[in-house]
Amino acid sequence: MVNTEQFRRERLDRGIKIRTDGLYALMSWRELSYLTLPRLILIVGMLLLPLIVPGMYWQKVVTILCIYALLAISFDFLAHYVGLVSLGGAFFIGAGGYLAAILNSTYGFPPILTIPIATLVGAAVCTLLLLPCLPLRGVYFAIVTLMYPLVLARIIEALDILGGTDGIVGVDSFANRWVEQYAVIAMVLLALFGIRRLVNLDIGLVFRAVMDNDQAVRASGMNISYYKAIAVFIGSALGCLGGACLVHIYMWCGISLFALDFSILPIAATVIGGSGTLVGPVLGCLILVPISELLREFGTLRIVFYSLILMGFIVFRSEGLMVYGERKYHQFQRWVKV
Amino acid sequence: MSEETILKVLNATKTFGGVTALSRVSFEVRQGEVLGIIGPNGSGKTTLINCITGFIKMSEGEVMYKGKKISGKSAHKIADMGITRTFQIMRPYYTLPAYKNLIIPLFAPRAKRTGGWRGGGKLGDRDTVSVDILEEIGFERDSFVPYKIASTLPTGYLKRLELARCLALKPEIILCDEVFSGLSMSEIASMVPLIERLQMDGITIVMIEHRLRELFQVANRVMVLNFGVKLVEGTPEEVMADEKVKEAYFGSQEVEEVMNYA
Amino acid sequence: MDILIYGTINSVALALMALGFALVYGISRVPNFAHGAIYVLSGFITWTFLRGLGLNYALSIFLTMLIIGIFGALLYQFILIRVRGIAISEIIASYAMGLAILEGLRWGGFKGMSYTLPVFAEGSILIGGIPVDYQRIIVVGIGGATVASLWLFTHYTRLGLALRGMAQDERAALMLGIDSDFMAVVAMAIGAMLAGLAGILLLPLGNIVVEAGYNVLILAIAVCIVGGLGSWMGAVLAAFIIGFAQILTVVYLGSHFQMVVALLAIIFTLILKPSGLFGMQKQLEERV
C-alpha cells in the first residue's frame, strides 16, 4: 500500500524565547541565562583556549586562528552588511603587516605603537586605493581587491623594495607569549561585539541601506561613496590590525603576507559559520584553522580543501552552521500531517 | 501660493542611444504650488524627474533651483539642497521595519542640519522622530504597522513610506512619481488630503500622475508631455480644453470622463 | 616597427584570453572567476594526452576542447546555476572553483619548467626586418578567425541570436521561448572552450605554470572592464589598448610592469568612465 499521507515540517519558537524578548528577560535567572549563556560560552571559551590546548605549537595556532577570525569578521561585515565582497583579505594583512614591520625595524617603534599606527594608516591606505570602485555596484570591488595582493606581491618581488623576496627580518615580538595570545583574543572579542553593535546603530542601518538600495540612499541626499568608504575603512582596519599583529608574532614580514590563504580561508570560514551572523565567521575559523594545521604537510592541497568545502557549503548549505544552531536553540520542529 | 519661481527647467533634452526621451522641455515651478505632469505612457515623465534630481545626466539643457544652476550636480547633492523624489517602483529598505526605514534619511546631512523634528534633529532620538513622521503621513501610531518589516507592508503603506522618506529631509520640493498608481479608490481618497496638507505646509509639489481626476483636485497647474515634447501648460480646465491634449489621449475614456466632470 | 608587430600579437593574445570571460558575463551575468583556471587546465589536459598517452597533437587538442567544453557546461549546470542571481555567492563559488583547480594542479605536481607544449610549426619569418616565429602568426590568425566566427555565430545562427537576445534582456528572451538556463549552459561551454583555445594557442610560447592562471584571470578581467563589462567588441578594442600599453611599458620601463598596466587600466577606467568603452552597465543603472 502506498502511503499517501504527506508531512510538512513545522517550526515553533520555544516558550522561553518569547519570554526573553524585551524587558521580560530580566524576570528570572532561567531567562537571563538563556540569553547570556551562548555569549558567555564564547567569551569564556575563547579566554580559556590558550590554557587548554596542548603545547606551545597549538598555542601559536590559537594566535593565528584569532588573526584569521579578525579577517573573517571583516569579510562578513563588508559582504553582508555593506554589500562589498572582498576577495583580498591578504591585501589588508599585507598593508598592515608591512607598515608595522617598517615602523618597527626602520624607526624602532615598539609594538604597542606600531600596531595602532599600522592599523589606522593601513586602513587609510587601503581605503584610498579602493576608492575608485566604491561608487559602483557589482563585481568591481571583488575584482579590484582580488588584484591588489597579487600585483603588490609582484611589484615588491620585481623591484626588490621593502626587503624583496627575503622580507623584513628582525621585527620585535610581543613581551611574552601570554601577552601575545590574550592581546589577539581580546581584539577578536572586541571586534566581534563592536561590529555587532555597530551594525545595529543608526550608521549601521545606513550601511545596510546602501547594500539594499543605494538609489534611495542617494535620493535622501547622502553620498553613498562616503558611507562605503567609512565601511571599507572599518573593515580594512580589522584586516590591518590582524596583519600588524601577525608580523610581530612571526617576527618577520615578507610577501607571503599576500598569500592566498589570507584571502580564501576567511571567506570559507564565513560561509561555513554562517553569513551575516558575525559570530559565525569566528566559529568557522575555530573549525577550519585547526584542520588546516593538521593538513599542513599536504601543502597547497589545503587551499583545494577550503575551496571545495566553501563551494559545497555555498551551493548546498548556504545558511551556515551558526544560523542552523540558532534555529535549533530558539525553535523546535515537528512533523505535522498535511 | 506666490508667483515666485523656485525651479526652472530650460530645454531639458535626453537621448538614450538613438531614442529621444525628452526633447527641449522647458517649464517653471512656482513656490508652494502643486504642478501636475501628465502624459501617455512612455512620454518621458519619469525621465524628466530623473533629470531634475540628477539620477540621469541630461544630454542638453539646464535646471535652475532658486536661481542657481543644479543640473550636472550629483543626485545626493541635489537632494541635499531640498529637492526630494519618490520612486515609481517603490524602493523601501525591505529588510528593515517601517520606522527604521526613516532612520536613514534622518541620518542624512540635510536632516541633521534642518533638524527640529520636535526635539529630534541633531541629538534627538531618531526612532521617536521617525514614528512621529510616520504618524503624520498616516501610519497608525498605536498599531503595530510602523514596526512591521517593510517587505510585509501593503502597497498603500509603502507609498506613504516613500513620501515619509522625503518628508524626513524637510524638503522644499517633492517630486512624486505616480504616488496614486496601484492604490484602491479609498486609499487614493485618503492620500489626496495628505497632499493638500503638505502644500499648506509650504512644500512645493510636482506630481506625475495617471489618475487625472484626483490630480485635478489638488493641482494648481498641469503640464502635458507627449513623446518627450511639452504639449501645453495651464490650469486643469485650460489643459483639458486643449485640442492637442485630446489628440494625445485620443480614445482615452478617462479624459472624456474628466471633461464631463470638470 | 617591432612595437607594432609585438603589440599586435600581444593584443590578439589578450583578446583571446578575455573573450571567454566577456561572453559568459555578457550572457549570463555570472563573473566567471574560474576563467584562468580553465585556461591552465586545458594546457595540462593537452599535455597529458600528448605526452602521457602519446596521442597525436591535433587529436589531443580536439579532445581537450571537447572535455573543456563539457567541463564548463557541467560547472554551470551543477554549481553556478544554484547560486545564480546571488551576487556574493556567484563570485565566491566561481572563485573557489578556480582556486580548487589551480591549487589542485599545483599539488598534483604540475609545477616547474618541465611542462611545455610543442609549437604548432617550427621556425620564424621576417616581417619588416623583425623575426616572428610561426606560432605567433598562428595566434594572430586564429585569434582573428575566432573573433570573426564568433561575430558570424552571434549574428547569423539561431543559437547565436538566442544568446544575444538573452544578453540583452533575459526576461524578454524567456517570453520568446528561449530557455535561458540552457542558453547560459551553452554560453558557459563556449566560454570555457574559448579559454581552452587561448590556453592551447598561447601556452606553447612558454612553460605551463599554475601562476599563469591568476595572470590570465586578471588580464581577462582588466580587458573586460576597460572594454565595458558584457560588451564583446569593447573587449576586443580594449585588448588592443592594453596590449600596446603593455608592450610600450616593456620596451621603455621593463617587463615587471605588465601587471601594473592592467591594474592601472582598471583603476583609470573606473575613475574616468566606469561603464568602459562600450559598456551597457551604466545605461542599465540609469534606468531608475
Q: Which of B55, B80, B91 sits opposite A221 (nearest CB)?
A: B80
Q: Which pLDDT score is estimated for A73? A: 94
Angstrom CA distances, B58 to A215, B29, B44, stand at: 18, 19, 13
Residue in C closest to A142 by C-alpha: C91
Neighbours of chain C (3+ CB pairs under 8 A): A, B
In degrees rounded to 5, what are phi and psi of residue C46?
Answer: -60, -45
Distance, first Cα to last Cα, chain B: 22
Angstrom CA distances, A338 to A4, A6, A7, A274, stand at: 10, 6, 5, 31
For residues A301-311, one letter each, b for 16 or more C-beta atoms within 10 angstroms of the residue's C-beta and e for the rest, the string is: bbbbbbbbbbb
Residue in B closest to C283 by C-alpha: B16
Over the stretch B28-42, which tens digit does the pLDDT of each residue have?
888 888 888 888 877
Note whether residue C142 is domain-resident: yes
Over the stretch A47-86, which tens digit does the pLDDT of each residue have?
888 888 888 888 888 888 999 999 999 999 999 898 888 8
pLDDT exceeds 60 at position A136? yes
Note whether residue C75 is domain-resident: yes
Could you give the angle at which helices A89-107 and A55-77 cross, rounded to 10 degrees? Answer: 120
CA separation for the pair B1, B43 (Å, rounded): 28
Return the closest-CA partner of residue A309 out of A279, A268, A255, A274.
A268
Note whether residue A296 is domain-resident: no
Question: Domain tally for chain A?
Answer: 1
Angstrom CA distances, C41 to A259, B73, C15, C46, C68, stand at: 21, 49, 19, 9, 8
Mean per-residue pLDDT pooled into runs of 10, chain C (288 residues) = 82 87 84 88 86 82 90 88 82 87 80 69 74 82 88 86 81 83 88 89 80 85 83 83 87 78 84 72 42
**Strand bridging mode B204-208 / B34-38:** parallel
Neighbours of chain A (3+ CB pairs under 8 A): B, C
Question: Domain tally for chain C?
Answer: 1
Give the dihedral of Cα atoms C198, C202, C204, C208; nearest 10 deg. -80
Return the closest-CA partner of residue B134 out of B111, B107, B166.
B166
Return the closest-CA partner of residue B6 out of B78, B85, B65, B77.
B65
Place of cell 600581444: C10
Out of A171-175, A318-322, C26-30, which region has the weakest mean confidence (pLDDT)? Answer: A171-175
Percent of chain A with pLDDT over 90: 20
Note whether residue A47 is domain-resident: no
CA separation for the pair A244, A95 (Å, rounded): 8
State the complex-level ipTM. 0.82
Count of C-beta atoms within a 10 Å radius of residue A217: 27
C109 is in which domain, residue-wise?
2-210
Domains belonging to chain B, first-starting first, are 1-82+208-262 (3.40.50.300), 83-171 (3.40.50.300)
Query: Is A137 in the B-facing interface, judged by CB distances under 8 Å?
Result: no
List residues of C whose CB lies inside 8 A of any B CB.
283, 286, 288
Query: Is A201 in the B-facing interface, judged by CB distances under 8 Å?
Result: no
Residue A317's pLDDT band, with cuts at 50, 70 and 90, is confident
DSSP A133: G
Note whether residue A172 is domain-resident: yes
Tell me the sheet residues that pair with C133: C124
Min distance A205 CA to chain B CA atoms (Å)? 7
A115 is in which domain, residue-wise?
56-252
On whether the CB atoms of residues B146 and B132 are closer than 8 A, the answer is no
CA B47 to chain centre: 13
Q: Which pLDDT score is estimated for B124? A: 59
Place of cell 621576417: C126
Give the dihedral of Cα atoms A160, A164, A165, A167; nearest 10 deg. 170
Place of cell 572535455: C67
